[in-house]
A and B are shown apart, each in its own frame.
Chain A
Amino acid sequence: MLHYVLKRIGGAILVLVVVALIAFVLFRFVGDPINQMVGQDVSVADRERLRQMLGLDDSIVVQLARFLWNALHFDFGVSYQFKEKVTTLVAARFPATFELSLAASIFAIVVGIPVGAYTGIRPKALMSRAFMALSLIGVSLPTFLIGILLIYVFAVRLQWLPSYGRGETVQIGFWRTGFLTKSGLAALVMPSITLGLFQLTLIARLVRAEMLEVMRADFIRFARARGLSERAVNFRHALKNTLVPVVTIIGLQIGSIVAFSIITETVFQWPGMGLLFITSVQNADIPVMAAYLMMVAIIFVTINLTVDLLYLAIDPRIRLGSAQA
């Protein structure tokens, strides 16, 4: 058991190191950051001087060592484009992405599970069929198109919701939240729907599939045979049993929420890390890119590790399996 846990943690650290290495290699190719940094009419000599200041003329080994050492301390230096400490920038942007992802996940879960359960219990009903068709349309439209359509309808035509940004925010310690103001909550609506839609369909379809399977299981038949109400069977027994795989998938999908937030944040000008990342890619802002990638990697590795360990706690078969291995 301890052996298994240690092995997983070791694996997670290895993953982080590999990501750092890959990131470093990629950065060699994203382009010359000096061009993004200075005005057009800066002389070649001045550019050379800046390159030296940044240590871009050192050997690759020296640069790699410096990069890894700094990454270890989560010190990524100063953003080339914004001339501000990367850690400050990320700390300022992280709450925005976190709150958006949270709202999107909640939206996906709160709508997705009931819909999935319903369609699983009554697969032949008209509503179920309609929803399954809709969900397919949902995954067949690119996220950005959905976002733009929402803006067009709800911001421009109906003028119900703001089209960009986070609205008013409240600073609580280091955290800047949009949950506490009316405009902050209004600004969350469209981005979180856009971001959550894909997860919603995924969750609904997963719950549906699991429900279809569970409904056939012996213990459900048994419960029915005992004369329990349909409601009790459906919710207390069937749905509950579908939730383990669903929670796993939700956990694993947090990663793709973070990734798709790049697109959603671009469309809605949401001041989060995704927007920061895409502008840093466009501007060859290597320190920001490095910080973002490491951060995403850490989030993922943590989630994977947690899911693994949770499984370990939940499912004794894995414990057994690992003992054999």
Chain B
Amino acid sequence: MNRLRRILGSDLLWSFTRSPGAMIAATVAFGLCLCALFAPLIAPQNPFDLASLDLMDARDPPVWLSGGDHRFLLGSDSQGRDILSAIFFGARISIGVSLASVALALVIGVSLGLVAGYFGGRVEAIVMRAADVQLTFPAILTALLINGAARAVLGPGRVAGSEFWVLVISIGLSFWVQYARTVRASTLVERHKDYVAAARLIGASAPRIMFTHVLPNVLGPVLVIATINLALAIITEATLSFLGVGLPPSQPSLGTLVRTGNDYLMSGEWWIVFFPGVALAALALSVNIIGDWLRDALNPRLR
């Protein structure tokens, strides 16, 4: 526990203040998250309110180009939707999908990894075999398959509106293996240490030992994986959207915005894809930079 506090405390902060890249990335990520969080308050337009869209406003260029309209700072898309507002709302969905799916993967992966590493034996064999099977398929393929199955189970009538959760489940379930493997490996090491033996001696229950003693000591690598996975989840969501199984254009994520905007790249209406693309890349990039920095900062050997 102490180590965790120490890591998250002074050392990390110190390292952070000495890393301009991480600081810029954190600012960008934080800014985008704020925009996403408060999208309904700060966006000039609600892109989900169909009544507020006017087809005659479609495809206006950004405001600084000729033909631009002051209402559409970054231009408008083919339905007369304000690109800036669409980005805010899209980021909201992208960040939501990514947070929820990584959280899901974390919960599943960490618990299974802990259980496998702590108890060993048959439990471990089953969990690790399952992980092997899943590793047999790349995450994107797994997500594609789970997505297909979820849609089929829900039936066409009920998919509308639940695409968000279908995505969360398919991405979340395809990411858990990494956590399970890391946590299991660390747990294997930790469980033979004296403090665990001591805790067991004083009669602490297995879950208690796992969560209060072992878990904090394996959190470092998990945190790094989770951060990098956040970025990966954003990209995966975009890719699934590209393959046509993401969110519908009436409820676009950043990935969906890029996919639909992509159709207008050759026709000269570059802003429809450019700005959402930049937002998507900026978000993924800043999260990646933070993850990178976190990995270096938490790796004592590199200091």
Contacts and interface: CB of A to CB of B under 8 A. Distances in A.
A38 interface: no
A259 B265 CA distance: 26
Contacts of A55: none
A260 B140 contact: yes
Contact of B149 (A29, A140, A216, A293): A29
A258 B136 CA distance: 12
Interface string B235-254: 10011001110000000000
A11 B129 contact: yes
A297 B301 CA distance: 37
B231 to A, nearest CB: 6
A142 B138 contact: no
Contacts of B289: 136
A29 B152 contact: yes
Given A136-B288, A297-B136, A300-B136, A259 B141 contact: yes
B56 interface: no
B265 A258 contact: no
B37 to A, nearest CB: 21
Given A11-B132, A142-B242, A137 B140 contact: no
Nearest to B289: A136
Contacts of B140: 256, 259-260, 262-263
A68 interface: no
Contact of A142 (B149, B265, B280): B280
Most chain A Cβ neighbours within 10 Å, of B242, B244, B292: B242
Interface in B249-303: 255, 258, 262, 265-266, 277, 280-281, 284-285, 288-289, 292, 301-302
Contacts of B238: 142, 145
Interface residues of A, number: 44
* Interface size class of chain B, counting residues whose CB lies under 8 Å from the partner chain: 35 or more
Contacts of A141: 235, 277, 281, 284
Interface in B143-164: 144-145, 148-149, 152-153
Given A30-B148, A142-B238, A144-B242, A136 B292 contact: yes
A278 B141 CA distance: 10
Contacts of B239: 142-144, 263
A28 to B, nearest CB: 8
Contact of A281 (B148, B242, B266, B302): B148
Name, among A140, A152, A281, the residue most crowded by chain B CB atoms within 10 Å (CB to CB).
A140
A48 interface: no
A139 interface: yes
Interface of B: 129, 132-133, 135-141, 144-145, 148-149, 152-153, 231, 235, 238-239, 242-244, 255, 258, 262, 265-266, 277, 280-281, 284-285, 288-289, 292, 301-302
